[in-house]
């Protein structure tokens, strides 16, 4: 038997014996590693570069970002905040099945999904220095998290999808709770460097129609736990849904490839 066949058989045998822990079976606490634990040398340099790319994305990757956002506008505090889609533990969670894609995808594919949708831009090459730096940062954030487990607070807080939105009330909630940071017309608040202190939530510089945040219930889950900034949890679930129904319906860039989403036919009711 040749080496190739032996290698395949060995892989199959290991796969059959290896324990698989589904996300539903085990959850571990979200623990952010101390920055003092970032190693020296090329790996440490990559970790720091990855964090820079994800926190200053609009400036650092102008060819890949088509709007005014940074990744950390949604993945708060460098991707370390529970229920703000943290990156802690992701290295051991992928490959993962995504119903929107209808297939198993890699972490690199998931990152590029955000570049194309949330950033309304272009994907990074899988073997690029930038993608490797992002992977290094996420791997470092995942230090100590067992492969195949979820951390507490992964993704967004769940919200009752049976709630019925009231867009007019949402407009009033936006004016009272959101406009002071995100602007009366959703345009955000710019800084002197040309970026944003607070990101736009609609218009040409915001996420496109194919982004998860353009979905009403997804946006409501984020808003409920995290907004207004520093006052997360002060809005009721109904208020969060109403304001999300208002701002997700506003004009934003299109995303033609969304026509291929949910190929298995399980499209959520709030998908655009």
**Residue ranges covered by each domain of the chain:** 18-151, 167-260
The whole-angstrom separation of Cα 238 and Cα 104 is: 34
Cβ-based neighbours of 57, under 8 Å, separated by 6 or more = 64, 65, 69, 70, 71, 72, 119
What are the beta bridge partners of residue 198?
189
The model carries a pTM of: 0.89
Q: What is the pLDDT of residues 194-210, one digit of tens each?
A: 889 999 999 999 999 99
Q: Which of 16-25, 50-59, 75-84 comes out lowest in average pLDDT?
A: 16-25
- Tell me how many degrees the CA angle 17-19-24 measures, rounded to the nearest 5: 150
Class of domain 18-151: mainly alpha
Between 154 and 13, the more confident residue is: 154
Residue 25 confidence (pLDDT) = 56
Locate all alpha helices (DSSP H) within the chain, ordered by sequence.
3-17, 41-55, 57-60, 76-79, 107-116, 129-141, 167-177, 179-182, 216-226, 237-248
Fold equal for 18-151 and 167-260: yes
The correct CATH number of 167-260 out of 3.30.1020.10, 1.10.760.10, 3.30.930.10, 3.20.20.450 is 1.10.760.10
Which stretch of 85-99, 134-148, 187-201 has the lowest confidence by average pLDDT?
Answer: 187-201
**Rg, C-alpha atoms of the chain:** 20
């Amino acid at each position: 038997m040749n080496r190739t066949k032996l290698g395949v058989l060995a892989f199959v045998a290991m796969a059959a014996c290896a324990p698989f822990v589904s996300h539903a079976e085990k959850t571990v606490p979200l623990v952010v590693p101390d920055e003092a634990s970032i190693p020296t040398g090329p790996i440490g340099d990559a970790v720091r570069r990855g964090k820079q790319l994800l926190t200053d994305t609009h400036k650092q990757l102008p060819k890949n970002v088509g709007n005014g956002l940074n990744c950390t506008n949604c993945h708060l505090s460098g991707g370390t905040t529970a229920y703000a889609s943290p990156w802690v533990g992701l290295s051991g969670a992928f490959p993962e099945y995504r119903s929107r894609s209808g297939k198993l995808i890699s972490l690199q594919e998931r990152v590029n999904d955000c570049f194309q949708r949330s950033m309304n831009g272009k994907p990074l090459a899988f073997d690029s220095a930038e993608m490797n730096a992002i992977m290094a940062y996420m791997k470092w954030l995942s230090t100590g998290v067992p492969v195949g487990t979820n951390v507490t607070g992964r993704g967004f807080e769940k919200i009752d999808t049976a709630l019925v939105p009231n867009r007019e009330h949402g407009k009033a909630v936006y004016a009272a709770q959101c406009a002071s940071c995100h602007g009366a017309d959703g345009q955000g608040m710019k800084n002197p460097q040309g970026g944003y202190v607070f990101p736009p939530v609609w218009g040409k510089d915001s996420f496109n129609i194919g982004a998860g945040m353009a979905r009403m219930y997804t946006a409501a889950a984020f808003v409920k736990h995290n907004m207004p900034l520093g006052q997360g949890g002060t809005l009721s679930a109904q208020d969060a849904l109403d304001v999300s129904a208002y701002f997700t319906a506003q004009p934003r860039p299109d995303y033609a490839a969304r026509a291929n989403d949910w190929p298995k036919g399980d499209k959520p009711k709030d998908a655009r």
